[in-house]
């Protein structure tokens, strides 16, 4: 499925697509010069999930947020709206029915990416109530594809279930950890480092964040996968995420670095996922 087809899909669906980007540790150097995606558009302010945010108007019903999150008309408004604290089928971000993610693999995926996708799916399905089903004739499904729209170690994912279709775009060199993270967005989960109480646990090193990416590190009062801050969450940014100079953009309160973020599904991730998707 090409980008044009995806765009037309998104204009048709009720629950349209919110895209997130993520990069792996190895891509720190690459990110110094390369954005996850490229875009043009006028900067305007809109409300998203209770917060007034700056977005780039792409002129096609899509708004680019954080330079790597695509919001649709359904996700933004000109007046404040109450933030949703949990995932339900009625929220702007929707859960997958029957705990089952229906997916289609694009024919352009390399063997390496197919293996990493399978590994990532097994991580979720072994540890949580989530199941993955290859599409047969379902109307709504997520298409997983290799893409030049993102850097070689980056990924983008639509958030939650979307009527009609969603997408995960992967660079040709992503690993299973990155795919596991992107699948977390597909399940409906946002980033851990932006949760409201994060300043009790980490320090954001604003001086090391690449220009234009600061919004990614701002607190957002929105739903999260875990019930308490979890440095080991699959949805937590690693310590060099979007660094402009190779120095950490996030440290612990004592100034030290950390490992374990965005690597695998943590115990709190499992509890949070199973709370959002109870056993059926
Ligand atoms: Zn992400």
- Centre of ligand 1 to C-alpha 218, Å, is 14
* 7-16, 39-48, 53-62, 180-189: segment of lowest average pLDDT: 7-16
- Higher pLDDT: 111 or 93? It is 111
Task: Say what the pLDDT of residue 30 is.
Answer: 33
Centre of ligand 1 to C-alpha 181, Å, is: 6
Minimum mean pLDDT among 67-76, 114-123, 170-179, 183-192: which range? 67-76
In CATH, what is the architecture of 42-186? 3-Layer(aba) Sandwich (3.40)
Catalytically active residues, by annotation: 182
Model pLDDT for residues 193-229, shown as the tens digit of each residue = 888 889 999 999 999 999 888 888 888 766 566 678 8
Angle of helix 267-276 relative to helix 176-187, nearest 10 degrees? 30
Ligand 1 centroid – CA 280 distance (Å): 27
Is the confidence at residue 165, as pLDDT, over 60? yes
184 Cα to the center of ligand 1, angstroms: 8
Which range of 88-102, 106-120, 213-227 scores highest in mean pLDDT? It is: 106-120
The answer to which of 95-109, 127-141, 151-165, 211-225 has the lowest mean pLDDT is 211-225
For the residues 240-264, what does the mean pLDDT come to? 92
pLDDT of residue 67: 57
Q: What is the pLDDT of residue 79?
A: 80
Ligand 1 centroid to residue 164 C-alpha, Å = 22
Q: Give whole-number Cα distances, 103 to 33, 196, 243, in Å.
A: 33, 32, 33
């Amino acid at each position: 499925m090409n980008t044009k087809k995806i765009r037309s899909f998104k204009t048709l669906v009720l629950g349209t697509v919110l895209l997130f980007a993520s990069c792996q540790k190895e891509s720190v150097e690459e990110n110094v010069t390369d954005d996850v995606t490229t875009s043009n558009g006028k900067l305007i302010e809109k409300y998203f999930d209770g917060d007034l945010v700056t977005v780039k108007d792409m002129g096609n019903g899509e708004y680019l947020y954080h330079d790597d999150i695509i919001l649709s008309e359904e996700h933004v408004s000109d007046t404040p709206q109450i933030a949703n604290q949990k995932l339900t089928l009625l929220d702007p971000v929707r859960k997958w029915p029957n705990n089952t993610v229906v997916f289609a693999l694009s024919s352009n995926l390399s063997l390496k990416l197919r293996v990493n996708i399978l590994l990532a799916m097994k991580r979720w399905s072994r540890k949580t109530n989530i199941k993955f089903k290859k599409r047969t004739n379902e109307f709504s499904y997520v298409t997983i594809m290799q893409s030049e729209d993102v850097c070689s170690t980056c990924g983008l994912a639509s958030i939650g279930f979307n009527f009609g279709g969603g997408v995960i775009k992967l660079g040709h060199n992503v690993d299973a950890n990155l795919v596991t993270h992107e699948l977390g967005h597909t399940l409906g989960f946002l980033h851990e480092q932006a949760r409201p109480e994060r300043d009790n646990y980490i320090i954001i090193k604003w001086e090391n964040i690449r220009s234009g990416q600061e919004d990614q590190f701002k607190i957002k009062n929105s739903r999260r996968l875990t019930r308490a801050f979890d440095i080991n969450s699959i949805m937590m940014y690693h310590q060099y995420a979007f660094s402009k100079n190779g120095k950490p953009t996030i440290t612990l309160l004592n100034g030290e670095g950390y490992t374990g973020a965005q690597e695998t599904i943590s115990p709190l991730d499992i509890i949070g996922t199973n709370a959002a998707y109870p056993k059926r």
